[in-house]
Amino acid sequence: MCGIVGFSSKTTSAVGPLVNGLSRLEYRGYDSAGVALASAEGLRIYKQTGKVAKLAQLLERALPERERAKYTLGIAHTRWATHGLPTVANAHPHVADGGRLALVHNGIIENYAALRAGLEKRGVKFLSQTDTEVLAHLVAAFDKGDFLAAVCDALKRVEGTYGLAAISARHPGEMVVARKGSPLVIGIGEKDVVVASDVSAIVAYTRQVIYLKDGDVAMITPDGVDIHSLDNAPVAREVQEVDWDLGAIEKGGYEHFMIKEIFEQPEALANTLRGRLDAANGTALLSGLNLSPRELAAVRRLVIVGCGTSLHAGMVGKYLFESLADVPVSPEQAAEFRYSNPIVGPDDWVIALSQSGETADTLAAVRESIRKGALVSGLCNVVGSTIAREAGRGVYLHAGPEISVASTKAFTAQVTALLMTALKLGRTRRLSREAGDRLVSEISRIPDLVGKVLEQNDAIAAVAQKYAQANDLFFIGRGILYPAALEGALKIKEVAYVHAEGYQAAELKHGPIALLSEKTPVVALLANIPGKEKTLGNVQECRARNAPVLGIVTAGDASAKAVLSDAIEVPATGVELSPIVSVVALQLFAYHVARLRGCEIDQPRNLAKSVTVE
């Protein structure tokens, strides 16, 4: 949530890199945006509500090209509002010391009210309602000539989370950045240093990066980077190479990132699978799990934690692990889990699912599980992310960067990774060699099967026209397709702003069926797996109430189609793969409905890609 960029150079103007960086991070929040630019004459601040493009226009008007060269140092921010409305006053950067100090922040300062009251008593005037402004004034108050020390002293008074960057006219050429709980990456270019909340804002300049860890504070100048602890002890952090390039984070001819990422799935899933299937032994390799057969055999219970789409993938995981590995599984919403004083211990294996690897509640669940002595693994997409690092073991999804706020390829990659993990766990327990062989061959078909669903794109776009006007939709599924129904409902809610609910197919008649009418369509997940006939019975109940029913059916399933108003075909698969092909169809359906309704698909209102606050 919120994106931070900082740029420091001896020769290059910071204006372009800061605005470009913000546009790459806009998916993290888009309520307002701002920059602070430093020159020998002091700081200049520009802020605007709305998207980065509006800030860019403001800069075009306010700062002619010839004036930009003198600003070789700057910080910038795109905001997802937590404290205070999305106004210009609440937009970052926030200033202190009479406009000589500027600071941008991602995270939440939990004790800001007490800190603010203390500062106000000492005569400080606040200009915003944000928690961040407190930080700016605190740093100014502690500045006795050493900028880094001032930031450290301020941060020692702070409870909460932060990724921050600060500059001050009293300290020309210096930028101080710090991290606790909110990601911050430093890119080391040949002549410039770029700081950002994630590497997507950095790869245009360099692929050499340092991932700051919690408690790190760094002094950045055009000459380099010095990292310290809050107690000012020097800290060494490894420079790593990012393994993807700019092309991966651009639209590449697609109208939206969402559709690009949906279409990337065959390749993304091939990357998730690469080198991980062991056909010789009917199992999966997954060396990153770093668990011996003895440790795997000792697992008594699995807990899968995540939020949103990742939680839905985890719910699919329950069916996979229980059927393949005979181990009981509790999928848990990460926030509920962390605050429930969870009963987990050394016999339990906690798997944290997170595309970003930065979701605050999932991270807290990881920490709580580690504290309680459970085995903990992370299934993350973003390499080097906090959850991946703190879990210490796990499976990277390798699905490539996901920019659209609506998660698509991460879901199918998560289910694929869970399926391989379940296969591996199953094969250390009771799953037979024959069953393992069948699954290896089935799993290796995933990229092609997903490609077949994508061939239905035009047909799905045509069906979407019939449903795009509905204001309410129900999604129903049974067994392993129930979480797929939840995911279908979530996708259409967030990108098309259609009220949608996912239900177990059998649950509809216990209440929600009262809402059905010819204006309330139902989307039924009817891939040909055990239980389908029963769901078809539920479809009949919906039709009897005049509700139009769109079915996601296995290609050629004439008997299912006969009871439906409309159908989208997916290729035949075994049970385990049915949520993957069904959800890809639902992703396309949500995308086309959103497009027909004229929605802002990649950046839906009120949302942000990475939820780093509780």
State in angstroms the smallest separation of the CB of 377 from ligand M6R. 15
Q: Does 265 bind ligand M6R (CB under 6 A)?
A: no
Which residues does 255 contact at the CB level (< 8 Å), separation at least 6? 595
Instruction: Please give the residue whose beta carbon sits closest to ligand M6R in the complex.
Output: 308
Which CB atom, from 324 or from 490, has the smaller least distance to ligand M6R?
490
State in angstroms the smallest separation of the CB of 522 from ligand M6R. 22
Q: Which of residues 317-356 bind ligand M6R (CB under 6 A)?
A: 354-356
Could you give the angle at which helices 578-596 and 409-428 cross, rounded to 10 degrees?
170
State in angstroms the smallest separation of the CB of 258 from ligand M6R. 9
Q: Does 365 bind ligand M6R (CB under 6 A)?
A: no
State in angstroms the smallest separation of the CB of 397 from ligand M6R. 10
Spatial distance between the Cα atoms of 532 and 554, rounded to a whole number of angstroms:
10
Q: Does a cis peptide bond (omega within 30 degrees of 0) precede residue 579?
A: no
Q: Does 272 bind ligand M6R (CB under 6 A)?
A: no
Q: Does 309 bind ligand M6R (CB under 6 A)?
A: yes
Q: State which of residues 407, 456, 528, 582 lies at the interface with ligand M6R (CB under 6 A).
A: 407
Instruction: Please tell me the count of residues contacting ligand M6R according to CB under 6 A.
Output: 16
Q: Does 416 bind ligand M6R (CB under 6 A)?
A: no
Which CB atom, from 152 or from 360, has the smaller least distance to ligand M6R?
360
Q: State which of residues 192, 198, 332, 494 lies at the interface with ligand M6R (CB under 6 A).
A: 494
Which CB atom, from 355 or from 369, has the smaller least distance to ligand M6R?
355
State in angstroms the smallest separation of the CB of 359 from ligand M6R. 3
Say how far residue 564 (Cα) sits from the centre of its chain: 35
Tokens at residue 551, please?
Answer: 């079915």
Site string for ligand M6R, 434-473 (x = CB under 6 A): ----------------------------------------
Spatial distance between the Cα atoms of 192 and 171, rounded to a whole number of angstroms:
18
State in angstroms the smallest separation of the CB of 337 from ligand M6R. 13
Which CB atom, from 193 or from 490, has the smaller least distance to ligand M6R?
490
Tokens at residue 194, please?
Answer: 């770029």
Residue spans of beta strands (DSSP E) within 422-498: 472-477
Of 81, 99, 144, the C-alpha closest to 613 is 81
Spatial distance between the Cα atoms of 202 and 224, rounded to a whole number of angstroms:
16
Say how far residue 516 (Cα) sits from the centre of its chain: 34
584 touches 265 (CB < 8 A) = yes
Which CB atom, from 342 or from 357, has the smaller least distance to ligand M6R?
357
Q: State which of residues 59, 119, 305, 307 lies at the interface with ligand M6R (CB under 6 A).
A: 307
Site string for ligand M6R, 532-571 (x = CB under 6 A): ----------------------------------------
Of 613, 528, 607, 590, the C-alpha closest to 256 is 590
Q: State which of residues 186, 344, 406, 492 lies at the interface with ligand M6R (CB under 6 A).
A: 406
Q: Which helix (H) or strand (E) holds 336?
A: helix 334-338
Q: Does 310 bind ligand M6R (CB under 6 A)?
A: yes
Which CB atom, from 394 or from 571, has the smaller least distance to ligand M6R?
394
Strands 42-49 and 32-39 turn out to be antiparallel
Residue tagged 């769109």 (tokens): 550
State in angstroms the smallest separation of the CB of 592 from ligand M6R. 16
Which CB atom, from 309 or from 582, has the smaller least distance to ligand M6R?
309
356 touches 395 (CB < 8 A) = no
State in angstroms the smallest separation of the CB of 410 from ligand M6R. 6
Which CB atom, from 359 or from 528, has the smaller least distance to ligand M6R?
359
Q: Does 286 bind ligand M6R (CB under 6 A)?
A: no
Q: Does 106 bind ligand M6R (CB under 6 A)?
A: no
Of 447, 354, 355, 252, the C-alpha closest to 365 is 354
State in angstroms the smallest separation of the CB of 342 from ligand M6R. 18
Tokens at residue 576, please?
Answer: 């385990």
Q: Does 168 bind ligand M6R (CB under 6 A)?
A: no
186 touches 212 (CB < 8 A) = yes
**Residues designated as active site:** 2, 609
3-state secondary structure of 533: helix
Could you give the angle at which helices 433-444 and 409-428 cross, rounded to 10 degrees?
160
Stretch that binds ligand M6R, among 138-146, 224-232, 401-409, 434-442 (CB under 6 A): 401-409
Residue spans of beta strands (DSSP E) within 213-284: 216-221, 224-229, 240-241, 277-278, 283-284
Q: Does 385 bind ligand M6R (CB under 6 A)?
A: no
Which CB atom, from 354 or from 520, has the smaller least distance to ligand M6R?
354
3-state secondary structure of 407: coil
Residue tagged 């605005």 (tokens): 19
Which CB atom, from 78 or from 610, has the smaller least distance to ligand M6R?
610
Q: Does 611 bind ligand M6R (CB under 6 A)?
A: yes
How many residues can be counted in the chain?
A: 614
Q: How many CB atoms lie within 10 A of CB 326?
A: 12
289 touches 394 (CB < 8 A) = yes
Spatial distance between the Cα atoms of 162 and 225, rounded to a whole number of angstroms:
19
Q: Which residues bind ligand M6R (CB under 6 A)?
A: 307-310, 354-356, 359, 362, 405-407, 490, 494, 610-611
